Amino acid sequence: MIVFKIIYWAGIVMQVVILMPFAKAARSKPKAASRVSLTENILLWLMTVVGLVIPLIYSVTPWLGFADYNLPAWMGWLGGVVLAGSLVVFARGHADLKTNWSPSLEIRQDHTLVTNGIYGYIRHPMYASQMLFNFAQILLLQNWLAGPPAVAFFIPFFLLRSRAEEKMMLDTFGSQYREYMKKVGGLFPKF
């Protein structure tokens, strides 16, 4: 249904709107350390293809129609709810990080360890929001090429990036971050 494609693209636009002020602020703050790898850049490029390029082709042309699948309408609407939840987590994560946010593995000169807000429940709300968004994509873009590949490419990206990020945080904040890791879950809260 076209409405599900519209919901998906509205979600993409909302992510950009949420991200813009933080991206602008990040460009103006000096970096103390950066640990961006070639593998990370390749995975980011592939995620852009499966999260934007293929969905765009699917949404505006009939070319990928051969790979469609049909879910009950309620599952598409559930995808809209999951997408909305992902945007709430995305916005909250950015709001709580404030000027500590960066688009890649970077530490700012005045970087602080954020453990409040959503970071008091999970260490990786940005990745959690992307995982939710990718599951919503499967429900909203009911096509084998435009939906499921997003999760398939996100999982290795998350595993690579979260490990590197946690190492960087341990190198920067030491025992303070180690204690934080014991108390707070990665993608899901600890109970």
In angstroms, the CA 132 to CA 39 distance is: 23
pLDDT of residue 109: 84
How many separate helices (H) and strands (E) can be counted in the chain?
A: 7, 2
Which tokens is 42 given? 């390749």
Cβ–Cβ under 8 Å, residues 36 and 124: no
pLDDT of residue 191: 82
pLDDT of residue 40: 83
Placement of tokens 């009939």 in the chain: 62
pLDDT of residue 29: 79
pLDDT of residue 44: 87
Which helix (H) or strand (E) is 185 found in, with range? none
Placement of tokens 């341990």 in the chain: 170
Q: Which positions of the chain have pLDDT values less than 50? A: none
Q: Please, what are the domains in the chain?
A: 2-14+50-183 (1.20.120.1630)
